[in-house]
Structure 1
């Protein structure tokens, strides 16, 4: 990672060609710092004020309470943390994508200032997250906050409460971002920190209302969409406002990029907020008869106003930016940021307000643990028809298939041939991902170890093989337009730069990929990590993503259609494939001969009547892991042989063309020699 003390090459401020007056507009008193501080104050006051009006729970006589300080400070600090997290995400987004980089790959002035601002806001995010821990403990234990600062209570809270763990994870991630951002000079590393910031938001979705009732898997998924969407939307707007105030180059490009992201984020926030409220509201009248429902209506009204402002941005201010007028954009954006801050304050109070009482029978222990019920043991019919759509990975599989087909259609319109076999491989791979995450296999995979192992094999071996054979990167690079010599580098250039980055070269190194693919089995299943991950919906999602990503990297290096940063010989690829076999065989045999059940407390708590012996279930999973490697190996061997045959044919054709060119050159030289001899023997010539 480059050191920040190194000067940025050619990073001198450049005049924005879309701005008519390059000087600072002194008639506009609003600076970005003032807007951020005002927005933070609004979020804090709204959260604390609404918390004072809407009590978090029904007070029971005789039970201890945390006190008024905790009741008001907790939502206020939570609002500051949420706003600081969103601003951090926004500044990282600006450095990674919104502000165009220089031609040499380094951050421009706007991106450099954005990454420094991200470091500052991440510091606030980290401090606020650590401050939340004693407040959450005080609220949960019903004791003053000064009694919740002991190390014993903090350690107990980390092990027992999802909300405390979420605050701790967010604080550590924010602290890392605050430190590392000081040394970033390249958009690629800014993108890595952006991913880290978004991942740090995910554990927060598995706490509060989302994790405390039935259908909590859907609630957690929708909350992840909500948190990520609101962070990109709010934080991106703050960063966009900052770039506009700094008069960065190519402000019209920045505006178009943020406008596209904001539209998708608004749709995600609105849809996920509606879905989450739908799960919490029992009757329609709860919207105006309960404090929770009234806060939902207030938040919906604010989102509607923000949607109208977004429409005005796209209709009026963006064309004005293209004409070189930025003042209407700044004024409307300031109002929008302040309203967004009030919305965050409402959301912080809403997360602490008691939900309306449910109707009908209370959910069973199995529904509280899984989010849904299981009617009986797995059968071929229940596995095939018992679908429960995964709103994260299931949606990702559908979107990936649609985008791939759009890319193929664009190539055909341009007259570029794309092999149908690659399209078929990609679509079947997306189908495998959808089946593994949304069919009956996924429902039983979180409750039974043997079904979980089948899901693991599909996500880690079958789906990645088919996806890498689809060649998505090659398709994307051919479908996207290339930026001209004097144009701003676009998405295509960003992908090319990422493919040649040091990070990608490192993670695709044969040794690194081999270690990740093999060692992750043992680290996950033979350590307490498996029990930690399987007991929460977020942990289950992270396991699925890990299987898919590691499997994709491994098979990309071996049989990937997309060119890898490192070119490996066929013998190295074959060695990587065959070298993993003993480790997988030993892993399966170790499970088949195990005598202690993993995550026994979790599986026992589910109380499935048809699972009476956890060790036998685990041994069955080991047998599945031991025997399921044959199908992927056959597919990979066929792909390798086919690629080698095609490479031999190409090499033969290349050699033939080279030989033909050589024979023609020899024949031409011979003819020239004969011509010279004839010329010399002709009478009248010397």
Structure 2
């Protein structure tokens, strides 16, 4: 019997029973040790292969890099230990992410909301792989510090020296943060038993991948905005694909329930992840590598090797879908899935080794090259002052928010088409509002407004107003939740929960109820203006590309959370009466007007160091540019009031019309019984009044 098939779980308990806990007794709950052994039997050869591959390649290229830069050699232990530790950390990360994905979305929980036995098994696997992620991340910190300092790792392990180097080296700080996130996820996997908290852990594990993205080749040099954004897709796609496949194979090996459902769902995830990895990999390579150096440089040859590995993985994925998934769905036989999947995991982990070696190899032409101020700080050059034509036509596509706008628009139209094919109607005005919001998001982030926004405060404030006010207003008027609930197929009473049920769970979750509380929504929407710009936080955020991404996300989310209960068509977790909606809206606009006036009257420049380093020739007075931004904030703040007032009046009138129609239908059905009873009561009162007088 193979080690994969040797790991067997007891059958899941009935769906309405509480989840069993492992207490050491043979009669209760799944044992965590057996799946860990089966996963280890599958992963250890692949991780060892990836580690040997990464160490062998970097041992050849590292010496040339150090010699070219004139840096001292940190020693063989650091040269070999650093790629090995990174392979361990990244392998643990992808298995942890994939196992949590499996537990949260690929197999259904029990009806009580507690994880099933299969979900619990994946959760325990995530805990053990999270421990490997944690240990690898901790080991990377001194190795990276020693590599940058050019000193043996034994000297770096002194607490004071290590603390100073971690504070000075960005990559060491990133892996320290990653280790903290891995610690939280690992501990959480030991104490969590419910589906909702598993989803939270899954989100935390994805967030743990972000610190690595913002350091390294992609976060430095020219075009670092495109390189970093493409690496986000690449890293998330790899984690979900590789980790999800490992979790699926482990589930098939222990003959778990809902294998066909998990295989179908993962097949779609794998296809999307492969497309994201292929597209982002091409973009990242084009940014970092001239085509003439594709064959002649070590970096280019590693890129070609990784492309070849991705093509092999595409073939495996195609064969997996045609043979493995079909055999599971149609015949319930996981044999082909196990055979193809085991080889595919080995190729995937070898690709991880190539990726680690690629990260340790500098792109050609990058050694000793110092980019200019604009390329170093914002990643690209500007072609002159921001005229109206440049703001509208000088585009630089944002791979995160520009692509997000296109995807959101496409998904919405797909939902509308599904309703129309079914014979249902959907208001055209809602479609126009949603597509207008998507177009506004695309223009604010990818047109000349998005291009000049990182370099000029006035343009940044204009983009801020679009993202926090115009885009959320249009999106909430599109009623996306209502459309999704009508377009998505319900699971039924006995069926496993799907996207429709997940959406309902989120809308009614405590998180949504807290965020849509009027005071919380008002504080997020208005308080963030003052907290971001008047606390010094904006000065720090200007230096980092990831901080720009985070700011845009905050503007969008805070605006959507605020306008959803105010003018949203979708049912809100906290419905508000019309007068309360007007009151909250006017309170927010009053605070917003004070913010714009405060910017116009300020005598200190926000982000002065950053903007002076840019030294734009057409921005000679930074304070005047800031006051222009304050004026834009104050003036544009009045526009949403018009939108909101009109929307509220229309919604109020339509609510009255619906109430009147319901009353008329009820009167027609019961012969106007309410009016007859009311007249009879009046007649009786009139008779009582006449009786005593007579």
Change in 2 beyond 3 A, CA 1:428/1:537:
same
Change in 2 beyond 3 A, CA 1:517/1:370:
same
Change in 2 beyond 3 A, CA 1:30/1:544:
same
**Is the 8 Å Cα contact of residues 106 and 185 (structure 1) preserved in structure 2?**
yes
Match of 2:504 among 496, 499, 508: 496
- Mapped to 2, the partners of 1:226 and 1:213 lie a distance apart of 19
Offset of residue 128 of structure 1: 2.1
Deviates more, 1:349-358 or 1:457-466: 349-358
**Is the 8 Å Cα contact of residues 66 and 72 (structure 2) preserved in structure 1?**
no
Deviates more, 1:50-59 or 1:560-569: 50-59
- The count of residues paired between Structure 1 and Structure 2 equals 649
TM value normalised by structure 2: 0.89
Residues 232-277 of structure 1: per-residue CA shift (max 9 Å, x gap):
1111111111211232211100000001000110111112112212
Is 2:226 the partner of 1:185?
A: no
- Mapped to 2, the partners of 1:546 and 1:62 lie a distance apart of 43
- Mapped to 2, the partners of 1:152 and 1:437 lie a distance apart of 43
Match of 2:317 among 281, 300, 310: 310
* 1:145 corresponding residue in structure 2: 153
* 2:302 corresponding residue in structure 1: 295
Change in 2 beyond 3 A, CA 1:433/1:137:
same
Residues 94-122 of structure 1: per-residue CA shift (max 9 Å, x gap):
11101122233332111122222222222
- Mapped to 2, the partners of 1:190 and 1:158 lie a distance apart of 32
Is 2:403 the partner of 1:417?
A: no
- Mapped to 1, the partners of 2:440 and 2:596 lie a distance apart of 23
SS of the counterpart of 2:209? helix
**Is the 8 Å Cα contact of residues 8 and 107 (structure 1) preserved in structure 2?**
no
* 2:142 corresponding residue in structure 1: 134
Match of 1:514 among 512, 515, 522: 522
TM value normalised by structure 1: 0.90
Matches within 5 A, 1:267-286: 267-284=275-292, 286=293
- Mapped to 2, the partners of 1:62 and 1:468 lie a distance apart of 57
**Is the 8 Å Cα contact of residues 181 and 205 (structure 2) preserved in structure 1?**
yes
Change in 2 beyond 3 A, CA 1:311/1:202:
same
More relative contact order, 1 or 2 (CA 8 Å, 6+ apart): 1
- Mapped to 1, the partners of 2:620 and 2:648 lie a distance apart of 44
Change in 2 beyond 3 A, CA 1:62/1:667:
closer
- Mapped to 2, the partners of 1:522 and 1:307 lie a distance apart of 49
Is 2:52 the partner of 1:37?
A: no
SS of the counterpart of 1:66? coil
Is 2:181 the partner of 1:165?
A: no
- Mapped to 1, the partners of 2:196 and 2:485 lie a distance apart of 18
Residues 622-668 of structure 1: per-residue CA shift (max 9 Å, x gap):
22222221001111111111111111111222233344455444899
- Mapped to 2, the partners of 1:589 and 1:160 lie a distance apart of 39
Is 2:358 the partner of 1:350?
A: yes
- Mark the runs of 5 or more structure 1 residues left unpaired by the alignment: 1-6, 14-27, 670-686
Offset of residue 9 of structure 1: 5.2
Change in 2 beyond 3 A, CA 1:527/1:179:
farther
SS of the counterpart of 1:59? helix
**Is the 8 Å Cα contact of residues 96 and 111 (structure 1) preserved in structure 2?**
yes
- Mapped to 2, the partners of 1:585 and 1:29 lie a distance apart of 58
* 2:531 corresponding residue in structure 1: 523
* 1:676 corresponding residue in structure 2: none
* 2:622 corresponding residue in structure 1: 614
Residues 498-557 of structure 1: per-residue CA shift (max 9 Å, x gap):
222222222222222222112222222222321232212211111111110111111111
Offset of residue 620 of structure 1: 2.0
Offset of residue 378 of structure 1: 0.7
Residues 64-98 of structure 1: per-residue CA shift (max 9 Å, x gap):
23222211111111111111111111011011101
Change in 2 beyond 3 A, CA 1:10/1:247:
farther
Matches within 5 A, 1:234-273: 234-273=242-281
Offset of residue 53 of structure 1: 2.1
SS of the counterpart of 1:411? helix
Change in 2 beyond 3 A, CA 1:339/1:416:
same
SS of the counterpart of 1:524? helix
Deviates more, 1:112-121 or 1:562-571: 112-121
Change in 2 beyond 3 A, CA 1:151/1:551:
farther
Change in 2 beyond 3 A, CA 1:191/1:164:
same
**Is the 8 Å Cα contact of residues 8 and 106 (structure 1) preserved in structure 2?**
no
**Is the 8 Å Cα contact of residues 59 and 79 (structure 2) preserved in structure 1?**
yes
Change in 2 beyond 3 A, CA 1:346/1:667:
closer
Deviates more, 1:541-550 or 1:64-73: 64-73
* 2:233 corresponding residue in structure 1: 225
- Mapped to 2, the partners of 1:371 and 1:443 lie a distance apart of 10
**Is the 8 Å Cα contact of residues 66 and 73 (structure 2) preserved in structure 1?**
no
**Is the 8 Å Cα contact of residues 218 and 227 (structure 2) preserved in structure 1?**
yes
- Mark the runs of 5 or more structure 2 residues left unpaired by the alignment: 1-13, 21-34, 678-694
**Is the 8 Å Cα contact of residues 468 and 556 (structure 2) preserved in structure 1?**
yes
- Mapped to 2, the partners of 1:70 and 1:389 lie a distance apart of 39
* 2:54 corresponding residue in structure 1: 47
Matches within 5 A, 1:356-367: 356-357=364-365, 363-367=371-375
- Mapped to 1, the partners of 2:294 and 2:675 lie a distance apart of 91
Offset of residue 338 of structure 1: 1.4
* 1:335 corresponding residue in structure 2: 343
Q: CA RMSD in A?
A: 2.5
- Which stretches of structure 1, 4 residues or more, deviate above 6 A after TM superposition? 666-669
Offset of residue 138 of structure 1: 1.5
Match of 1:650 among 624, 646, 658: 658
Deviates more, 1:120-129 or 1:453-462: 120-129
